[in-house]
Amino acid sequence: MFAPKFLVAGVALLLVAGSSLASDAVRRHVAWDGMVLGIGGSKIRGEVEMVAGKVAGTTAVEVSYARDAAGAVRPWHIHVGSCAKGGPVLGAATAYPALRVDGKGAAEGKATLRLALPDSGSYYVNIHESAASMSKIVACGDLLLEE
């Protein structure tokens, strides 16, 4: 008489545990990575990474590179699209603090975007010559989805 009740409770427990395991299996850990390469005579070489932010619903972006002109200040952004085709800025343009190139020609920057990390699409980073010359891109890099 007690067996059916225990059987039902056991099956229910397995279903709850199984659905929890299934949701863990569906959850993907993704990162977008790319190489930053100079354009038009620029010798810039570096890396860019875009991952889920520490706060839910945010995206963290980091860029670092070398071989640039010491003292340069470079605006940069992640865009939707590709270096070849272009596209709009991902998130708010103001979320990307300008890169400041040190005396050795290296720069590093971080941005936090108020949007969840995308798990599909096409994205790229571009680095502008200066705030006064935003139309000139000195480096670009397409991002690839890493799972």
Q: How far from 50 is each of 55, 57, 97, CA to CA, in Å?
A: 14, 13, 15
What is the CATH number for 138?
2.60.40.200
Task: List CB contacts of 27: < 8 A, sequence separation 6 or more.
Answer: none
Which domain range does residue 108 map to?
31-146
Residue 42 covered by a domain = yes
Residue 96 covered by a domain = yes
Residue 73 covered by a domain = yes
pLDDT at 2: 46
Q: Residue 29 — very low, low, confident or very high, per pLDDT cuts 50/70/90?
A: low
pLDDT at 93: 96
Sign of the alpha-carbon dihedral angle for 32, 34, 40, 43:
positive
Residue 58 covered by a domain = yes
| pLDDT > 70 in the chain, percent | 80
pLDDT surpassing 70 at residue 16 = no
pLDDT at 147: 77
Residue 37 covered by a domain = yes
Query: pLDDT tens-digit profile of 68-96?
Result: 999 999 999 999 999 999 999 999 999 99
Q: Residue 55 — very low, low, confident or very high, per pLDDT cuts 50/70/90?
A: very high
Report the C-alpha gap between 46 and 141 in whole angstroms: 9
| pLDDT > 90 in the chain, percent | 78
Number of domains in the chain: 1
Residue 86 covered by a domain = yes
pLDDT at 25: 43
Residue 94 covered by a domain = yes
